[in-house]
Chains A and B, each alone.
Chain A
């Protein structure tokens, strides 16, 4: 199988490596970040194999081979999550199988099946209603592993945009995907407003972003690939960072309720700042990748369905309010003292890396998006 190095897939692969390796870097400490110790299942060796498989995926110019390798990689990742619950593992295995089906369909020149299978694979991994149970359970049980799952999903989305969305069926089905994506963006956005704890907030934020990704993938079928890629990138880094912040906080203080004020900002100022930045990026704050992603996506969606655009704007507004509520409940209020330290050096490095990526993509998005748009538009149909 000939391999080919392209700048855009390589850049996306490098970006995907960041969330992929973060949990590994963090768990090298004696005290694991995740209280459930679930991240132990993701050893460095497992991550290395996963990284190599994903590297192979992005280097291959052949869609069937890429999807087959992806199927292996995703299956490998799913095996590592068995200890977290069968629901989670079965969702991720289902996603791997869907990727394998997409590979077979591409090999047999059945583009409609390939598109459908690839879309299902992504929907399962980003937590789109009603396929969200496994991923939101992962968000509740191990936010750090969720970050890693998003890293691999970024590569899956790239392959989807490269090989399966250049077909007439993708064009025809786009308005329906957009409408459904918008609906499943608005509902979790509303649900985020009434969550009693921080993990519930992360769960609904994940489901809401899943809806946004589905809508963006729908719009990609009509030529807005860069918007879909940017939405996935933002989700990966903003939600990934948010998951890591929540995991770090809970490792120090246990489960965090949103019913009363926590008053932790004086004890954990850096953690509070990290949480605020990631949450803000997730709700399109100017200066972060989220702002560009929202702008691109809304322009892409308007042409397909005005009502869907309105639903997504309202869903994002609801999540923004829920984010400030979560921040206020977790960090503001009468100061409480804590013996636990603020973010340690390793966690600071990880957080800084994620923030820098989000800010660079927010200020100079063209660095990645302009070549990515050219590359994805130039990709041939299968």
Chain B
């Protein structure tokens, strides 16, 4: 019974704090103070961390007999034989991600209190942060794909809103739209896979996934491929990496939490969760390894040519994320879990220090760069590699070219529709 309460509180308290703050801000009267906003969200996040710790202790057997595996809350919805299970899955990966998410979100919240002091978007920041924290707990403890998708979407929406945080400028808003578009298109893969798993296995519970071994191999490969697509979008794998440098338009604390710590690793966590399915889909595993290693190479090259600290750091993060993807697809799931956790902790620290890094570079970095430039005359090959990396392999331009015909078709359809409606109006007169 305690496990039910602690799991429920871990996921719902941040959501409730976002709700309380959001309603208070919109309910009229004077704008609540920064202290109030911070206290509400900090309270929710702290209690959520406490609950997550309690779950971890129960899982470890510290608070009585060890609790693990599926924890059922009944059904979210049941209609005849169809049901959406409200089920949690408590295992090492879940506890690791939930603790990581809760700790990092709380730390970033404390950091942001000073960082965003007197910013007009202070309250909005903390509402979004609490929503994100809730989404992470949902994803971490989800025992069914439906529940995981709910958290997945919360993370996606809060991520897009954070990127467009400084919306007075045009670029953050455009970057936010681009990121959201990438997320939604790749999330289509998650949705299709979820529906397919339900139809083929009769349930979306993660604990039942090993049963896919009994399905025809092409069906398993297709589902695994769709989930890999969703993971590639969320974790900015090639060819969807274009949104990541744009995402640096958001506030530094959110960049740290999302693109250094948690959100960028969400795709990997999804693949860890469905690893039994991946293991039964060797072709998808090969694709995953190629994508992961390709992204690692690409991101390493781009990180070396990036001129801004956050952008370079984002690509350095991406290089490691690519490697973790390759590890998962090669079957080294324990190594991937450890790599993921350590990497997230390091990158959050580095992102939060990014403004200081810029300061340090101004003081001591320029001399070293000038010395290197004076002593090493670049060859044609080096210059070519530099140019290609600087333009990020022109991957974004390639994707844009794919979108252009779709938009042209949409415009043509719209013109046709307007013509039809004019004709209808004339006919009605």
In the complex, are the beta carbons of B406 and A190 less than 8 A apart?
yes
B414 / chain A contacts, CB cutoff of 8 Å: 191, 194-195, 204
Most buried by A among B167, B168, B410: B410
Contact residue among B22, B25, B173, B429 (Cβ-Cβ distance under 8 Å from A333): B173
B176 within 8 A of A: yes
A134 / chain B contacts, CB cutoff of 8 Å: 424
A226 within 8 A of B: yes
Closest beta carbon of chain B to A364's beta carbon, Å: 9
In the complex, the chain A residue whose C-beta lies closest to that of B187 is A317
In the complex, are the beta carbons of A302 and B196 less than 8 A apart?
yes
In the complex, are the beta carbons of B173 and A365 less than 8 A apart?
no
A299 within 8 A of B: yes
B50 within 8 A of A: no
A255 / chain B contacts, CB cutoff of 8 Å: none
In the complex, are the beta carbons of A366 and B78 less than 8 A apart?
yes
A39 CA to B191 CA, complexed, in Å: 40
Given A328-B177, A333-B168, the answer on whether A130 and B79 have CB atoms closer than 8 Å is no
A192 CA to B198 CA, complexed, in Å: 30
> Which stretch (A52-60, A113-121, A163-171, A318-326) binds chain B?
A318-326
Given A285-B157, A309-B192, the answer on whether A295 and B146 have CB atoms closer than 8 Å is yes
In the complex, are the beta carbons of B410 and A328 less than 8 A apart?
no
Closest beta carbon of chain B to A175's beta carbon, Å: 16
Given A194-B414, A299-B198, the answer on whether A325 and B150 have CB atoms closer than 8 Å is no
Given A295-B84, A370-B78, the answer on whether A332 and B195 have CB atoms closer than 8 Å is no
Number of contacting residues on A, CB 8 A?
57
In A296-352, the 8 Å CB interface with B consists of 296, 298-299, 302-303, 309-310, 313-314, 317, 320-321, 324-325, 328, 332-335
Given A291-B150, A314-B188, A320-B184, the answer on whether A303 and B199 have CB atoms closer than 8 Å is yes
A105 within 8 A of B: no
Closest beta carbon of chain A to B297's beta carbon, Å: 30
A15 within 8 A of B: no
In the complex, the chain B residue whose C-beta lies closest to that of A294 is B191
In the complex, are the beta carbons of A302 and B199 less than 8 A apart?
yes
In B156-199, the 8 Å CB interface with A consists of 157, 160, 164, 167-168, 170, 173, 176-177, 180-181, 184-185, 187-188, 191-192, 195-196, 198-199
A261 within 8 A of B: yes
Interface string of A173-200 (1 = CB under 8 A from B): 0000000000000010011011100000
In the complex, are the beta carbons of A328 and B185 less than 8 A apart?
no
A369 CA to B149 CA, complexed, in Å: 21
In the complex, are the beta carbons of B170 and A191 less than 8 A apart?
no
A373 within 8 A of B: yes
A261 CA to B177 CA, complexed, in Å: 13
B82 / chain A contacts, CB cutoff of 8 Å: 296, 299
A28 within 8 A of B: no
Contact residue among B25, B150, B425, B428 (Cβ-Cβ distance under 8 Å from A286): B150
A317 CA to B428 CA, complexed, in Å: 34
In the complex, are the beta carbons of B192 and A137 less than 8 A apart?
no
Closest beta carbon of chain A to B15's beta carbon, Å: 8
Contact residue among B26, B168, B195 (Cβ-Cβ distance under 8 Å from A302): B195
B24 / chain A contacts, CB cutoff of 8 Å: none
Closest beta carbon of chain B to A2's beta carbon, Å: 30
Given A85-B428, A194-B407, A333-B167, the answer on whether A292 and B187 have CB atoms closer than 8 Å is no
B196 / chain A contacts, CB cutoff of 8 Å: 302
Closest beta carbon of chain A to B24's beta carbon, Å: 12
In the complex, are the beta carbons of B164 and A313 less than 8 A apart?
no
Most buried by A among B79, B82, B146, B188: B79
Dominant SS among interface residues on chain A: helix
Given A90-B428, A193-B410, A291-B150, the answer on whether A328 and B168 have CB atoms closer than 8 Å is no
Given A320-B184, A324-B176, the answer on whether A299 and B428 have CB atoms closer than 8 Å is no
Closest beta carbon of chain A to B403's beta carbon, Å: 9
B77 within 8 A of A: yes
B304 within 8 A of A: no
Contact residue among A195, A286, A299 (Cβ-Cβ distance under 8 Å from B151): A286
In the complex, are the beta carbons of A332 and B164 less than 8 A apart?
yes
Contact residue among A187, A317, A369 (Cβ-Cβ distance under 8 Å from B79): A369
Closest beta carbon of chain A to B19's beta carbon, Å: 10
A296 / chain B contacts, CB cutoff of 8 Å: 77, 79, 82
In the complex, the chain A residue whose C-beta lies closest to that of B174 is A328
A365 / chain B contacts, CB cutoff of 8 Å: 76-77
A317 CA to B156 CA, complexed, in Å: 13
A273 within 8 A of B: yes
In the complex, are the beta carbons of A136 and B187 less than 8 A apart?
no
In the complex, are the beta carbons of B195 and A133 less than 8 A apart?
no
In the complex, are the beta carbons of B157 and A280 less than 8 A apart?
yes
Interface string of B258-275 (1 = CB under 8 A from A): 000000000000000000
A195 / chain B contacts, CB cutoff of 8 Å: 414
B420 within 8 A of A: yes
Closest beta carbon of chain A to B233's beta carbon, Å: 11
A190 CA to B413 CA, complexed, in Å: 9
Given A190-B410, A317-B187, A320-B184, the answer on whether A309 and B195 have CB atoms closer than 8 Å is yes
Given A137-B421, A285-B153, the answer on whether A86 and B429 have CB atoms closer than 8 Å is yes
B381 within 8 A of A: no
A44 within 8 A of B: no
A90 CA to B79 CA, complexed, in Å: 39
Given A133-B421, A328-B173, A365-B77, the answer on whether A86 and B199 have CB atoms closer than 8 Å is no
In the complex, are the beta carbons of A273 and B198 less than 8 A apart?
no
A40 within 8 A of B: no
B157 / chain A contacts, CB cutoff of 8 Å: 280, 285
A332 / chain B contacts, CB cutoff of 8 Å: 164, 167, 173
B360 within 8 A of A: no
B119 within 8 A of A: no
A382 / chain B contacts, CB cutoff of 8 Å: none
In the complex, are the beta carbons of A87 and B428 less than 8 A apart?
yes
A287 within 8 A of B: yes
A252 within 8 A of B: no
Beyond the given pairs A194-B411, A285-B153, 10 more chain A to chain B contacts, judged by CB atoms under 8 angstroms and listed by A's residue number, are A85-B425, A90-B428, A273-B26, A286-B151, A296-B77, A302-B196, A317-B184, A317-B187, A325-B177, A334-B168
Give 16 pairs: A residue, B residue, CB < 8 Å, sorted on A. Answer: A86-B428, A191-B417, A193-B410, A204-B414, A226-B79, A265-B167, A270-B26, A285-B157, A292-B84, A296-B77, A296-B79, A303-B199, A317-B184, A333-B167, A369-B77, A369-B79
